[in-house]
Structure 1
């Protein structure tokens, strides 16, 4: 991923993380515009089909969790999974796999840390972990 695209993705993720941490939700406007931008970017590459497939597969996994336990994972997380799944898939199967696996691990680790710290609010928004996992995978995994 080129530096300007990565910078825009990072800024978008930062806005989503701030909103999710502050309001415990991911706004449709941010996820929707992000999806449009990612699909537009993918159209300009040879990886459009891969991006759509990666987004659909990750969103389907998140949707199944959301339908089983709606309080555990919100619909915004499902939409964000579609976008970040598309971004990760455009950069290869390793990036997609690591970003998909790292996000729940980060959220679980934060949850366990809150338990040990006896923090009263034990809910952990998952959006920041999804963004962090994708950005880390993009930076650390070779193309």
Structure 2
């Protein structure tokens, strides 16, 4: 991918991640109009740049993990998080299994730390997981792309 196209793709992913995070923080929902088209675009671009198999593998693996957690404990993880896992799994899968694992673990760790901090302050409401997913994926992909 050329330098200009790469910059446009990076900006597009950043805007997508910010929009998703803002929606989840504001309304505690990750809308299908953002999660599913984003996943589709990432998968199509990955296929077009020769990374389709890695993107599909990453998407399927993260979707499978999130779906399993959602089915076991629906209150712990929403359906929007499961759908977001498709796009973020595809995105991180393109960069390799190590990036995928770091993003997946980073998201859970971030949400856990935020929830613990809220509890320690006496706040009993839950923490939306989507922003942690977006932050972890964005940071890990951003760092791996610059190395």
* TM-score, length basis structure 2: 0.92
Are 2:24 and 1:20 aligned? yes
Residue equivalent to 2:132: 129
Q: What does the per-residue CA deviation read over 1:90-126, in whole Å, with 9 as the maximum and x for residues that have no partner?
A: 0112211110110000000000010111124x21100
Counterpart of 2:118 (choices 114, 128, 137) is 114
Q: Show structure 2 runs of 5+ residues with no match.
A: none
Residue equivalent to 1:101: 105
Residue equivalent to 2:43: 39
**Alignment check: 8 A CA contact 1:84 1:131 kept:** yes
Residue equivalent to 1:5: 9
**Alignment check: 8 A CA contact 1:31 1:79 kept:** yes
* TM-score, length basis structure 1: 0.94
Residue 45 of structure 1 and its aligned partner are, at CA, apart by 1.2
Mapped to 2, the partners of 1:93 and 1:69 lie a distance apart of 26
Mapped to 1, the partners of 2:48 and 2:12 lie a distance apart of 16
Counterpart of 1:78 (choices 77, 82, 91) is 82
Residue 35 of structure 1 and its aligned partner are, at CA, apart by 1.4
Counterpart of 2:55 (choices 35, 51, 54) is 51
C-alpha RMSD of matched pairs (Å)? 1.4
Mapped to 1, the partners of 2:89 and 2:118 lie a distance apart of 28
Q: Show structure 1 runs of 5+ residues with no match.
A: none
